Chains A and B, each alone.
Chain A
Amino acid sequence: MRRYFEKMDDVGRELRKGEVKRTDDNVAALKEVEAELDAAVERVKTTGLSTEKINERGQMTVWQRLEYLVEPGTWCPLHTLYNPLDNPEDTTNVIDGIGKIGGKWAVVIGFDNKVFAGAWMPGQPENILRVTQVSKRLNLPLVWLVNCSGAKLPDQEKFYANRRGAGTPFYRHAELEQLGIPILAGIYGTNPAGGGYQGISPTVLFAHKNCNIAVGGAGIVSGMAPKGHFDVETAKGLIEKAKEFRDEPPGTVKTHYDETGFFRYVFDEETEVLDALKEYMAEMPAYHPRFFRVAEPKPPKYPSDDLYRVVPLEPKRVYEFEQVLARLVDSSEHTEFRPGYGPEVYTGLCKIDGFLVGVVGNRQGYLGKDYPEYGDYPGIGGKLYRQGLIKMNEFVTLCGRDRLPIVWIQDTSGIDVGDAAEKAELLGLGQGLIYSIQQTDVPMICVVVRKASAAAHYLMGGPPANRHNAFTVGTAASEVYVMHGETAAVATYVRRLIKEDAAGRPLEPVVEQMNELAQQYHDHSRPVYCARYGMLDEVVKMSELRRYLVAFAGAVYQNPKSICPQNHMVLPRLIKG
């Protein structure tokens, strides 16, 4: 199969002099947004107690543990800004991502021990469920850095119960284990109650000498008999009990290493726990990359920094999709599937770090006066029409046949509308694509390069495709909304305008409301907002996008559950004819 993959067709071209000249403002604008994102990430990193304070206590912070644990250059953080229930600490109190440990890709998550000693907090269960889903979808070991003081009690009603509450991750841990996905846990500090289950639910437990895990901690054990009120006598009793348990809390190493044996190992130094995790990770089942690579890994021909010039921040500006693709894939090479058919959509095979992937993306700009063939109006990229939808249905299905992971590159304003579009069956073809994706059991990643809008965001492998979408990353240019704010303002207020006008009343108050709604849409679709509320799993610098794709491809091909021999693949032959 070398002839199919070693040298594929060239895609993209160098930037021309005029393009460089006219895009300086765009570079500056995108970097300004990235600086805002950096500032938001910094707030997450510095929230809670200082690093010095934690280190004075003889502990490492979660950030220091991650830095020690994960191989340099491989860490791809996820959910850094995720804080859907607006915790004032700017975090759900878990830090996660994918990275290499001991030479193998893993999903890694740890409690931030700088904030309430790693407590459960609002929004955290959903964050953890996203992480277990990444592990499940990519078939990657999950590595926990447990350091969890249990529920932040004043906020318990926001996360303790419910179908996707703080107990659900323990079921997910069991599910992963039943699927054959191991969970390793390095355990530090005091882990009572919820923290105890965070400690016990993984597969192999690596304990630091000062840690404990327990059904209930000292605080609960010393005051578990409610009598309807508190009085001074009760308070004095509590003081005595609490002192007793502070000296010897339940579930220490003495109990869970010496007696129950729950802890498989105990280490004196914090770093020794991490060293043991590295050793275990090095022994995890994984194919050598050469088993699946179709060619030697090569960087793109064109620099990734060009993306700051290729992708306009202004959502109305058109650009060449192929110029984006050429800066993401190996050697800037591809093999396009059905070129010319459904021109608003790109579908093709590309290599990422030597691994074969399917790529689907939105082309931008004018599509020619004869397209869409069913309408008497011109088509424009970003929108989806009949042919593009048919082509995506075919391509996704064939990727499933050949066990190829799919990279979706979204910049879409929606599906064509109007009666001609209805007659062209776009509603059925759109849902048909959702059906195709759902029955195509391969991992997918979605990159929201710029716009993600309307149902097109759902059906182009976005986060709603969550059985197969491992994660979705955005950029400084990303904006996610059901429709553009001005369109929404028109849809909301046009009848009111007609009424006011007919009644001879001034239109200004309605116009003011329209502007307010449009502004609200703008504010609530910015990258930081989208990351905070989970519309994007991470917002990534333009220059870092390829690194995430490399991590995704490496993770997918590390230990796939189902494989297609290269010599049995159909898609490359269908393209070649």
Chain B
Amino acid sequence: MSESSGGWLRGAQPPTSESKNRLPVEAGSNGRVPADSPPALAPAHTAPPPRALPGGGEHRRHTLVALVLDKPGVLNRVASLMRARNFNIDSLAVSHTDQPDISRMTITLHGDDVAVEQATKQLYRLIDVLKVQDVTAEPTVEHELGLVKVRATDSTRAEILKIVELARGRVVDVSAESIIAEVTGAESEVDQFVALVRPYGIKELVRTGSVVMARGAGSIEEAIKR
């Protein structure tokens, strides 16, 4: 069709015939189930449900693993992007990998699945980001390390030591008035330990944030090995 004036959208009458090329289609994710006979042009009384908004689902904790080029400012880029796109980071741990120019970030954040997927896709837009994986649903080993300086007197020291032992922690420093306990485990385990010793008086607390690794022989690093 090459005519450049008039046309059917301007009122000219096209010839009529039967429509063709119908194929069955699966229902989509958005509640718009295809029907063979679509609704009339302005059926006000049968208005469809409001369009689903991306990111309106239930919030839960997600863990992302990102492999990034170890370039100056890469941490700033990631942090800046999360801030600008309105994602709230719960914890962020950065370290080297076995490859000299590649760093690994473990990011935990709360959000619904669609929003976190959006965060993942935004991270991929950064030139220095090589791979991002949401490992929330995968079997993983997850650990973080916490150091807790607890007030300890002669009367409470033994109790605290017992709690540390039960939590499979380790006492790394003892003084007349305090104990520093080291505890490792999943975020919830460290939370639990902190809650248990809180009544004795926490003088200082530091946590590394979670690091995770998928169980089994598969490796996230393999995909980007050069």
Do A and B associate with each other?
no
List the interface of chain A (C-beta within 8 A of B): none
List the interface of chain B (C-beta within 8 A of A): none
